């Protein structure tokens, strides 16, 4: 009886952990994929109702397998996107520092950021830089090009626009 209760506890703990990680991934999907794709992530998240129902109908093995499959649909990809977002955010802060130090040294903003040496070169395609009479703008995207994180000189802070 005690072994059976431990197995039930482990089973519930595994499913609960997966669901919590899926919820975190779905929440941050707004910032990495945009609102429309976030909606589809939540639809996949709600599929967890099926393993829960199967568990209550004593189909524990099928329930666990289905719960893990649903978790594998969401968790690895969103973990990758969150890691990439962290790296892009770090790189963008260093680019902003480069732009302001360039302006301090030369009295104007750089025409482009080709003089900036990326710490992670794979991320360079995710960035775009614009300069105009009001200052500059730095943009980057995570996941899809429709989601834009941007910094404008005249605003002075990071903002976000979903698809």
Q: What is the pLDDT of residue 5?
A: 63
Looking at 19-68, which runs of residues are DSSP E strands? none
Using CA atoms, how far residue 76 sits from 23, 29, 40, 91, 150, in Å, is 13, 13, 16, 23, 26
What's the pTM?
Answer: 0.82
Angle in degrees, CA 117, 162, 138, rounded to 5: 25
Residue 50 has a CB neighbour count (10 Å cut-off) of 14
pLDDT tier at 4, thresholds 50, 70, 90: low
What is the pLDDT at residue 123?
93
User: Residue 151 and residue 156: Cα distance in Å, rounded?
Assistant: 7
- pLDDT > 90 in the chain, percent: 58
Domain residues of the chain, as ranges? 2-80, 84-161
Angle (CA) 91 96 99, round 5°: 125
Residues linked to residue 129 through DSSP beta bridges, in sequence order: 138
Lowest mean pLDDT across 7-11, 23-27, 137-141, 146-150? 7-11
């Amino acid at each position: 009886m005690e072994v059976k209760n431990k197995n039930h506890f482990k089973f519930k703990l595994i499913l609960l952990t997966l669901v919590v990680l899926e919820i975190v991934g779905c929440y941050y999907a707004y910032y990495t994929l945009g609102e429309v794709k976030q909606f589809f992530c939540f639809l996949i998240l709600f599929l967890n109702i099926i393993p829960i129902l199967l568990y209550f109908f004593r189909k524990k093995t099928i329930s666990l397998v289905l719960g893990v499959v649903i978790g594998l649909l969401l968790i690895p990809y969103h973990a990758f996107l969150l890691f990439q977002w962290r790296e892009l955010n770090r790189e963008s802060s260093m680019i902003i520092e480069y732009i302001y130090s360039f302006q301090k040294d030369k009295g104007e903003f750089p025409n482009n950021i080709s003089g900036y040496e990326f710490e992670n070169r794979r991320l360079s395609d995710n960035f775009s830089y614009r300069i105009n009479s009001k200052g500059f703008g730095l943009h980057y995207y995570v996941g899809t090009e429709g989601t834009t994180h941007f910094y404008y000189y005249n605003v002075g802070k990071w903002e976000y626009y979903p698809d």
